């Protein structure tokens, strides 16, 4: 998935927010209390993976290019760039007035260091594979080449040259992702893992980190050294994690939150009646899916995976659990990407009754049924919506002799477990587009991806993805190869897609510049508040 100013006078106002207390300073300081559905795992751009961290990092850092309030690509640390005729060499001109929050200039060497650090196996970056289009990036990440052999070079302090293996149409948009942000080499070498702590973190974005009280709040303050600080209207942004969506609604109604990035869907009708156009719902490039452990028995059996997928009634879940705020999903790539037609599951056109009959035949053939139940655990991260979805699937699978146990953990723990390749059967996951291209949804299932929670490893899929990458200069051929790759992924049930997302947010009318868009991107830099 922003303007005006609040004038305060005289003394600071004390506002109590759940576990913590915030002090809203006087002297016309504008404070944005920004509710978020989960706590960030880290603020190291190279060690993060969720949208909750992406929102914070978008305020703290600035890549070569960034997204505006409508999710369009705009200049960031680079004020301009050129592309070679063959589409493989990008030359970026950095702003001469861009500096780090400690006053040091932001240089091309900072990006060389950051890109090499992302690919360094010692970093353990989940998004290392994102930069694989860069020449020798994959080789560096797999220890087959030295960092200095990577296709990223500082021509001079303000000129960065990036060489790709092949034309990559989404490359510029990909650079808006936090994995491509610069980091301060001097700070990291001096402080080690402590470089991301308040008072230590050196950033180059519109805000700096002032406080971080885990599970309570994260306070960001306007960075006076940001090159475009004069246009930034919000002085302080408090990111306030509230996993309980119902509690978040109460806090919003009490004026403790100015916005919140999710809604309890079982209350959707009442919320619309109460808050009217403060409720924002619209198309969102994202897929809600179950990761399924393809590399362990019995889930290494593609027939079994397919039977479970067919038995799940997506229409019921979309309508009853999500109150039609989500759409039934049968592909990993959601609809809405120009020039691409997703490859949907072959049973998508069957009636639910016919799907269930086919699922029963497969399960019986494999020896499962009411008299010999299949044991299965579904893990999910804290959310009323996720819980209700898991319970619905549990009930839907029960008649098939599938005995489903549910395991809930907070979002930080949940994704940390998946990232560390923990042992599970099915696990709730969601993927939001990092850029408007099918590759962002398909790349997570490549064997090298740190986001490949299912452990899916298919030579046919890898070959098709490689062909798509090689066809970068031929858009139609590339999209055809990507669709073929998705066809393989869906037929082999590398994951179980369930739903296509809509963004579901609540936004105070005091906020301006909070623009709805398919990426649900809302940089605080462009927001203002009455």
Q: Going by C-beta distance under 8 Å and a sequence separation of 6 or more, which residues neighbour residue 93? A: 78, 79, 80, 81, 158, 159
Percent of the residues in the chain that have a pLDDT greater than 90, as a whole number: 94
For residue 25, pLDDT over 80 is answered with no
Dump pLDDT digits (tens) for 280-336.
Answer: 999 999 999 999 999 999 999 999 999 999 999 999 999 999 999 999 999 999 999
Cβ burial, residue 9 (10 Å; 0-12/13-18/19+): exposed
Largest CA distance in the chain: 76
Distances (CA, A) of 181 to 127, 169, 385: 12, 19, 32
pLDDT band at residue 23, thresholds of 50, 70 and 90?
very low
CATH of segment(s) 13-239+508-529: 3.90.76.10
What phi and psi, each to the nearest 5 degrees, are found at residue 46?
-90, 0
For residue 44, pLDDT over 50 is answered with yes
Residue 187's pLDDT is what? 97
Dist CA 443 CA 457 (whole Å): 12
The full length of the chain comes to 530
Supply 64's token pair: 């070569």
**Is residue 117 within 8 Å of 65, Cβ to Cβ?**
no
- Which residues are 15's β-sheet partners? 22
For residue 4, pLDDT over 50 is answered with no
Supply 469's token pair: 């990458």
Place of tokens 């519109």: 206
pTM over 0.95: no
For residue 242, pLDDT over 70 is answered with yes
Distances (CA, A) of 193 to 208, 216, 348: 18, 22, 47
For residue 21, pLDDT over 60 is answered with no
For residue 211, pLDDT over 80 is answered with yes
Q: Calculate mean pLDDT across residues 456-465.
A: 98
Q: What one-character DSSP code corresponds to residue 158?
A: T
The DSSP element (H or E) to which 275 belongs, if any, is: helix 268-275
Residue 27's pLDDT is what? 59
Lowest pLDDT segment from 1-15, 47-61, 137-151, 471-485: 1-15
Q: Is the dihedral of CA 509, 510, 516, 520 positive or negative?
A: negative
Dist CA 245 CA 504 (whole Å): 11
Candidates 94, 67, 61, 98; CA nearest to 79 is: 94
State the chain's mean pLDDT as an integer: 94
For residue 6, pLDDT over 50 is answered with no
pLDDT band at residue 159, thresholds of 50, 70 and 90?
very high
Place of tokens 């004069």: 230
Residue 229's pLDDT is what? 97
β-pair type (511-512, 374-381): unpaired
Residue 473's pLDDT is what? 85
Dist CA 442 CA 465 (whole Å): 8
Distances (CA, A) of 282 to 202, 289, 325, 396: 36, 19, 8, 28
Dist CA 335 CA 337 (whole Å): 6
Fold held by 285-502: Dipeptide-binding Protein; domain 3 (3.10.105)
Distances (CA, A) of 337 to 74, 312, 360, 406, 439: 20, 26, 35, 34, 11
Instruction: Give the DSSP letter string of 196-232.
Output: GSTTT----SSEEEEEEETTTEEEEEE-TTSTTGGG-
Dump pLDDT digits (tens) for 392-416.
Answer: 999 999 999 999 999 999 999 999 9
Q: How far is CA 191 from the centre of its chain?
A: 28
The DSSP element (H or E) to which 89 belongs, if any, is: strand 89-94
Where do the domains of the chain lie? 13-239+508-529, 285-502
């Amino acid at each position: 998935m922003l303007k005006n100013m609040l004038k305060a006078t005289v003394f600071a106002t004390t506002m109590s927010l759940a576990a913590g207390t915030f002090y809203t300073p006087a002297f016309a300081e504008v404070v944005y209390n920004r509710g978020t559905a989960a706590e960030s795992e880290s603020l190291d751009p190279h060690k993060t993976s969720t949208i909750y961290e992406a929102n914070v990092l978008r305020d703290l850092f600035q890549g070569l290019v960034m997204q505006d309030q409508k999710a369009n690509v705009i200049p960031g640390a680079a004020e301009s760039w050129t592309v070679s005729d063959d589409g493989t060499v990008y030359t970026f001109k950095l702003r001469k007035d861009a500096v780090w929050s400690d006053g040091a200039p932001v240089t091309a060497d900072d990006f060389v260091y950051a890109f090499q650090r992302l690919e360094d196996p010692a970093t353990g970056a989940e998004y290392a594979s994102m930069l694989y289009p860069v020449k020798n990036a994959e080789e560096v990440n797999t220890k087959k080449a030295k960092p200095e052999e990577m296709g990223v070079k500082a021509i001079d302090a303000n000129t960065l040259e990036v060489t790709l293996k092949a034309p990559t149409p989404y490359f510029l948009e990909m650079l808006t992702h936090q994995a491509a942000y610069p980091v301060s080499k001097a700070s990291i070498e001096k402080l080690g893992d402590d470089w991301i702590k308040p008072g230590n973190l050196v950033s180059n974005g519109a805000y700096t980190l002032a406080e971080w009280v885990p599970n309570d709040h994260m306070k960001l303050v306007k960075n006076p050294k940001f090159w475009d600080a004069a246009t930034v209207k919000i002085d302080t942004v408090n990111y306030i994690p509230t996993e309980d969506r119902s509690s978040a609604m109460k806090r919003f109604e009490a004026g403790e939150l100015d916005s919140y990035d999710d809604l309890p869907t079982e209350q959707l009708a009442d919320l619309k009646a109460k808050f009217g156009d403060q409720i924002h719902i619209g198309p969102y490039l994202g897929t809600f899916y179950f990761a399924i452990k393809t590399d362990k028995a019995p889930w290494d059996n593609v027939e079994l995976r397919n039977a479970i997928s067919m038995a799940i009634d997506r229409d019921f879940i979309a309508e009853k659990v999500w109150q039609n705020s989500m759409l039934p999903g049968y592909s990993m790539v959601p609809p809405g990407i120009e020039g691409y037609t997703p490859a949907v599951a072959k049973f998508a056109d069957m009636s639910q009754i016919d799907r269930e009959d086919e699922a029963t035949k497969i399960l019986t053939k494999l020896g499962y049924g009411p008299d010999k139940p299949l044991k299965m655990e579904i893990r999910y991260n804290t959310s009323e919506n996720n819980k209700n979805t898991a319970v619905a699937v549990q009930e839907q699978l029960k008649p098939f002799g599938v005995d489903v146990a549910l395991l809930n953990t907070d979002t930080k723990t949940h994704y940390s477990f998946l990232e560390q390749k923990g042992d599970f059967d099915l696990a709730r996951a969601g993927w939001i587009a990092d850029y408007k291209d099918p590759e962002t949804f398909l790349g997570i299932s490549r064997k090298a991806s740190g986001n490949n929670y299912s452990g899916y490893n298919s030579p046919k899929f890898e070959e098709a993805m490689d062909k798509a990458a090689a066809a970068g200069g031929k858009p139609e051929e590339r999209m055809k190869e990507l669709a073929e790759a998705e066809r393989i992924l869906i037929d082999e049930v590398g994951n179980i897609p369930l739903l296509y997302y809509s963004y579901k947010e609540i936004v105070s009318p005091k906020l301006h510049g909070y623009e709805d868009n398919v990426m649900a991107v809302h940089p605080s830099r462009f927001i203002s508040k009455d």
